[in-house]
Chains A and B, each alone.
Chain A
């Protein structure tokens, strides 16, 4: 957590300085985390697949900043950012990614299945659209048990091809459930532009259910936070679900191994988003230009996070693997 003294301009865009700096810190944490994932993976230290969230940080951070600790999220195959934004500890994340006993799931889940009741993380899901039911069910339980919790269901625009999503949206709207469907539109379903897979307008789909919906600039963390706060609080008041279309871009490949990408998306497009629309850079520039944080503050945050992440990687790489005898544990509760 940031310890900077509040600058004279205590609040901007209706957001406290603490929150604004915390969101910067969280976005940068995700960026640095993912860069280390890339490094571990390319050095063949990480088994399996890695889908990096770099470029999309403002979405997870802006939304999770609007949530309470006990609110729920469900995540996706590209889920490291969601988990970190909801409060996951990088040490336990890295340990899980490397298949270590100390990881969030004792090494049984891996990169695509980080789950943690303590931070309200119902689990990342490697079935596209696969967590729509879990998220909507958690919202059902919150309403039934009158806990006041809200659930955010993160999914990529590729999940718009899954029928179960619409069954859940229909049920959520019918039953006024406190769930937010957060559609991260990074424009590509793996190696295919979404316009080739998605008929009509995305936003017309929630509209057909009579669901509150909004298109948000997913590179602007303050805009994401503002929209998320509005709909999360609305859901908490019992006024029902909402759908957010968060326009964003993944800077890297679909997974770390997806390097030659020109056949499905032009370099100039990547350069535009990286150069002009980077969420971390845009927010840091705004923080300094508004006088909310100066460069030395931001540099200090970078240094702290770099040290934290390096220590987390060190923790995970030196942590032991689970004993093979543990393979039979946890099949049944």
Chain B
């Protein structure tokens, strides 16, 4: 896959360096760990190995095994430790190697972490970060390829981050660690090797619930999330060649959701297509499309359309797997139809 450089409205305005997506995540964690001694990170092979994806390489050398903690292969076990430690004075980051393993930790996340603040009438807090990966096309088959960010987005009490660029990943990870609520932070694993981008030199954090216009346009709004932001930008470049000026909006967090920016962009362009890598049915695209339809209905030229992962378990064989995820060509074709070109 070619290396893509994705810009960001924030990063383009300040002095910046170009770094990889994973580097940005690591920098954010390292800086927060320097700032706050109660931040620890635990998960499988996170210390000397620096995770299977090598994203955290070097952290254990700086912070030691007291703070970068290798665990047994017990996702519910160490996630539960994260919940309890978060309630009692720490800010743990829990590393879930593959987002598919969300299935194993759902009780800890949904019934425990998400609910304790409300159930206790606001008395206990749970400042916990769950880092998980998402994204297909690594030929990893059905149990290592899913994008399950719709699940936590469905749950009151959780916040969910799906960054698309290094600058966003860094700024949003800092906010996640400083937030007093449980935050699930999904990193597209293809982005570790394919996405580089400018990241501000200064110390910065990006607030949740603020969408970023990754490309301004006038004819159609392409709402993209995580890896689909790059797909949308690629499609926008193709659309430009046929005279369609697409706007690409990246919500950056599924909850809180910047409904205002989505609706305003759709009102402005009068057409909207939502693209997300999660399963299409009952997912993120459905929610965003209905928010936009409710808010911009009378300004739209046609129905809000959506593209998501096919409703099949992710297959192994490359031509099959590639057919499950929206591509630039898919987005281009549908957007073109929507613009009657």
Contacts and interface: CB of A to CB of B under 8 A. Distances in A.
Contact of B66 (A72, A144, A171): A144
A145 B127 CA distance: 16
A35 interface: no
Given A106-B122, A332-B157, A333-B125, A164 B81 contact: no
B84 A122 contact: yes
B76 A133 contact: yes
A142 interface: yes
A3 to B, nearest CB: 31
Interface in B75-128: 76-90, 92, 107-108, 111-112, 116-127
Contacts, number: 149
Contact of B81 (A117, A125, A145, A171): A171
A201 interface: no
B80 A163 contact: no
Contacts of A168: 77, 80-81
Interface in A257-282: none
Interface in B264-292: none
A239 B161 CA distance: 40
A48 B94 CA distance: 35
Contact of B77 (A117, A167, A333): A167
A330 B124 CA distance: 10
Contacts of A164: 76-77, 80, 107-108
Interface string A138-175: 11111011010001000000000001100110110010
A90 interface: no
Interface-centre pick from B40, B72, B118 (highest chain A CB count, 10 A): B118
Interface stretch (A107-115, A184-192, A286-294): A107-115
A224 B324 CA distance: 59
B303 interface: no
Nearest to B111: A127
Given A133-B81, A137-B85, A330 B90 contact: no
Given A115-B116, A137-B87, A174-B72, A107 B121 contact: yes
B180 interface: yes
A125 B84 CA distance: 13
Nearest to A151: B84
Nearest to A134: B84
B84 A130 contact: no
Interface string B166-180: 000000000000001
Given A105-B119, A167-B74, A140 B85 contact: yes
A333 B76 contact: no
Identify the interface centre among B40, B78, B180, B181: most chain A CB within 10 Å of its CB. Answer: B78
A145 B90 contact: yes
A330 B117 CA distance: 6
B84 A123 contact: no
Contact of A109 (B76, B112, B121, B159): B121
B64 interface: no
Interface string B48-91: 00000000000000000010000110101111111111111110
Nearest to B118: A330
B302 interface: no
A139 B124 contact: no
A132 B74 CA distance: 13
A140 B66 CA distance: 11
Nearest to B69: A175
B156 interface: yes
B117 A333 contact: yes
Contacts of B83: 133-134, 137
Contact of A122 (B108, B124, B159, B181): B124
Contacts of B159: 332
14 contacts: A104-B123, A105-B123, A122-B84, A122-B87, A123-B116, A130-B111, A138-B87, A144-B66, A164-B76, A171-B78, A171-B81, A331-B117, A333-B117, A333-B181
Interface of A: 72, 103-109, 113, 115-117, 122-123, 125, 127, 130-142, 144-145, 147, 151, 163-164, 167-168, 170-171, 174, 329-333
